[in-house]
């Protein structure tokens, strides 16, 4: 689905003053897809200095990951955005995500290597380009990682492109880092990303589901589950299981979007309050929450129009 | 209210602009809030307001208010 045409850049064009690595990503996208300018202008217009600095840090990592293959990533990003628009139409018409079963989505999306590759490449660029993703990353760096105690043991579930995991593994306060995912293909992507990014400590990467019997024990002081809950049939059960492997007083970083249709999103939360209730009901005490609307909407308008909002929560295991 | 007046009301609400005039030659280029995401939201809001349905191929072809008004009127007359 294509959007109405928009003019190619005018001088400045609402995207002036971007830092170099961010500029490189934006320019690569607009060279291939000038019609995306309006969306990007809205996504960049209200960023504060901290968010812009975090996006630039991530854009430098993206440059290392793409390593001269930015065009393929732009193609994946465009595919992902157009997929989201298709799903948005379905969501607005029906009030529901298109799919609700993991098996259905696994067969349709996760088993399709070509689509998954495009999707992962697109998601990587969105960390720089989408305001809600950039704000979530800034929150992760400033509010989460910076406040973890020395010697913390870290777990990330569903690390995907590996950016968050790389940042934790490179944190001098992190004693050990582990990553779990149910998909070997996804873990392979994470391994490749960590290798390309370099630095940091060795990460234990394991094929494992949070819904299997994890046992009980104080294995982790820090757990990250970012943009994963919406892919699960039983997101609350996954959070409860994670609570069981955390140290008392350990902290969890949960990033889950509400009203955010995508072909593989199956667990629908409709308000930030529903997201907070899900985390609290799993046995966590919320410490801080970031409500980050997508696409440049204010929170008030995002709630009114039911557009996507990233809800990012830091909570403590009781 | 006629089709254009109802459409104007929808657009003012969606694009958060009480001064928006839904004239035939108005395009996304002139409305800062009218990006690709807002475009699909407008189309689905029109579907609900007028009880019509657009095919995926039509959504991308509608590039002005005039084009949208014509499509709505065609569907209402069919």
Instruction: Give the model's pLDDT for residue A26.
Output: 97
Q: Which long-range contacts (CB under 8 A, 24 or more apart) does A140-143 make?
A: A140/A164, A140/A167, A140/A224, A140/A226, A140/A253, A140/A255, A140/A312, A141/A54, A141/A57, A141/A167, A142/A50, A142/A54, A143/A288, A143/A290, A143/A314
Count, in order, helices (H) and strands (E) of chain B.
Answer: 4, 0
Cβ of A200 under 8 Å from any chain B Cβ? Answer: no
* Residue A12 confidence (pLDDT) above 70: no
Would you call A112 helix, strand, or coil by DSSP?
Answer: coil
User: CA–CA distance from B76 to each of A19, A207, B3, B46, B71 (Å)?
Assistant: 50, 55, 10, 12, 9
Ordered DSSP codes for A121-189: HHHHHHHHH-HHHHHHHHHIIIIIGGGSPTTEEEEEES-TT-HHHHHHHT-TTEEEEEEEES-HHHHHH
**Chain B residue with minimal CA distance to A301?**
B16
Cβ of A8 under 8 Å from any chain B Cβ? Answer: no
Q: Tell me if A1 and B40 make a contact (CB, 8 A cut-off).
A: yes
Residue A4 CB burial class (10 angstroms; 0-12, 13-18, ≥19): buried
Would you call A289 helix, strand, or coil by DSSP?
Answer: strand
* Residue A307 confidence (pLDDT) above 70: yes
Instruction: Give the model's pLDDT for residue B78.
Output: 87
Q: Lay out the sheet containing A174-181: strands in order across.
A: A203-207, A174-181, A152-157, A220-226, A246-258, A309-317, A284-293
- Spatial separation of the C-alpha atoms in residues A17 and A39, rounded to whole Å: 17
Residues of chain B that touch chain A, judged by Cβ-Cβ distance less than 8 Å: 14, 16, 27-29, 32-37, 39-41, 43-45, 47, 56, 59-60, 62-64
Instruction: Give the model's pLDDT for residue A1.
Output: 43
pLDDT band at A65 (very low <50, low <70, confident <90, very high): very high
Identify the H or E element spanning A12: none
Query: In this structure, what DSSP letter does residue A94 have?
Result: H
Count, in order, helices (H) and strands (E) of chain A.
Answer: 12, 7
Instruction: Give the model's pLDDT for residue A4.
Output: 42
Q: Tell me if A301 and B16 make a contact (CB, 8 A cut-off).
A: yes
Nearest Cα of chain A lies from the Cα of B5 at a distance, in angstroms, of: 21
Best to test chain A binding among B36, B49, B55 (most A CBs inside 10 Å):
B36
What percentage of residues in chain A have a pLDDT greater than 90? 85
Instruction: Give the model's pLDDT for residue A7.
Output: 34
Instruction: Give the model's pLDDT for residue A13.
Output: 58
Mean pLDDT on A97-101: 97
Residue in A297, A300, A278 with CA at minimum distance from that of residue A289: A278
Query: What is the ipTM score, two decimals?
Result: 0.92
- Spatial separation of the C-alpha atoms in residues A18 and A38, rounded to whole Å: 16
Would you call B47 helix, strand, or coil by DSSP?
Answer: helix
> Quick check: B57 and B33 in contact, CB under 8 A?
no
pLDDT digits (tens, 9 = 90+) for A141-190: 999 999 999 999 999 999 999 999 999 999 999 999 999 999 888 999 99
Cβ of A3 under 8 Å from any chain B Cβ? Answer: yes
pLDDT band at A6 (very low <50, low <70, confident <90, very high): very low
Q: From chain B, pick out residues whose CB is under 8 angstroms from the CB of A1.
A: 40, 56, 59-60
Q: Tell me if A92 and B41 make a contact (CB, 8 A cut-off).
A: yes
Q: Could you give the dihedral angle defined by the CA atoms of residues A57, A62, A64 and A68, in that order, rounded to the nearest 10 degrees? A: -140
> Quick check: A117 and A76 in contact, CB under 8 A?
yes
Q: Which residues of A62-95 are buried (b: 16+ CB within 10 A; e: fewer)?
A: beebbeeebeebbebbbbbbbbbbbbbbbbbeee
pLDDT digits (tens, 9 = 90+) for B14-65: 999 999 999 999 999 899 889 889 999 999 999 999 999 999 889 989 989 9
pLDDT band at A101 (very low <50, low <70, confident <90, very high): very high
Q: Tell me if B37 and A1 make a contact (CB, 8 A cut-off).
A: no
pLDDT digits (tens, 9 = 90+) for A24-33: 999 999 999 9
Is pTM beyond 0.80? Reply is yes
Would you call A212 helix, strand, or coil by DSSP?
Answer: coil
């Amino acid at each position: 689905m294509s959007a109405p045409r928009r003019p190619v850049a005018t001088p400045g064009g609402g995207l002036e003053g971007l830092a170099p690595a961010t500029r490189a990503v934006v320019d690569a996208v607009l060279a291939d897809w000038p019609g995306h300018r309006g969306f990007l202008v809205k996504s960049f217009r209200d960023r504060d200095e901290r968010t812009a600095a975090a996006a630039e840090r991530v854009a430098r990592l993206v440059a290392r990951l793409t390593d001269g293959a930015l065009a393929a990533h732009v193609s994946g990003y465009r595919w992902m955005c157009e997929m989201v628009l298709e799903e948005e139409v379905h969501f607005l018409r029906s009030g529901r995500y298109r799919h609700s079963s993991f098996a259905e989505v696994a067969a349709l999306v996760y088993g399709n290597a070509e689509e998954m590759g495009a999707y992962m490449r697109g998601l990587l660029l969105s960390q720089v380009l989408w305001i809600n993703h950039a704000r979530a990353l800034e929150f992760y760096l400033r509010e989460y990682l910076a406040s973890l105690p020395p010697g913390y043991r870290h777990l990330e579930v569903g690390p995907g492109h590996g950016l968050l995991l790389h940042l934790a593994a490179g944190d001098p306060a992190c004693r050990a880092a582990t990553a779990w995912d149910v998909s070997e293909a996804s873990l392979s992507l994470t391994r490749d990303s960590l290798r390309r990014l370099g630095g940091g400590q060795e990460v234990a990467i394991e094929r494992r589901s949070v819904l299997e019997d994890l046992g009980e024990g104080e294995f982790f002081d820090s757990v990250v589950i970012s943009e994963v809950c919406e892919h699960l049939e039983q997101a609350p059960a996954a959070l409860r299981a994670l609570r069981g492997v955390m140290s008392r007083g350990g902290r969890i970083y949960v990033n889950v979007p509400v009203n955010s249709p995508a072909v593989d999103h199956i667990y629908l939360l409709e308000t930030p309050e529903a997201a907070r209730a899900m985390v609290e009901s799993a046995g966590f005490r919320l410490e801080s929450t970031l409500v980050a609307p997508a696409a440049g909407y204010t929170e008030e308008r995002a709630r009114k129009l039911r557009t996507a909002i990233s809800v990012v929560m830091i909570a403590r295991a009781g | 209210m006629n089709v254009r007046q109802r459409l104007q009301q929808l657009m003012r609400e969606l694009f958060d602009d009480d001064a928006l005039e839904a004239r035939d030659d108005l395009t996304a280029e002139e409305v800062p809030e009218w990006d690709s995401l807002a475009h699909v939201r407008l189309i689905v809001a029109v579907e609900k307001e007028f009880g019509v349905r657009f095919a995926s191929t039509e959504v991308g072809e509608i590039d002005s208010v005039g084009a949208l008004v014509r499509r709505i009127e065609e569907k209402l007359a069919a």
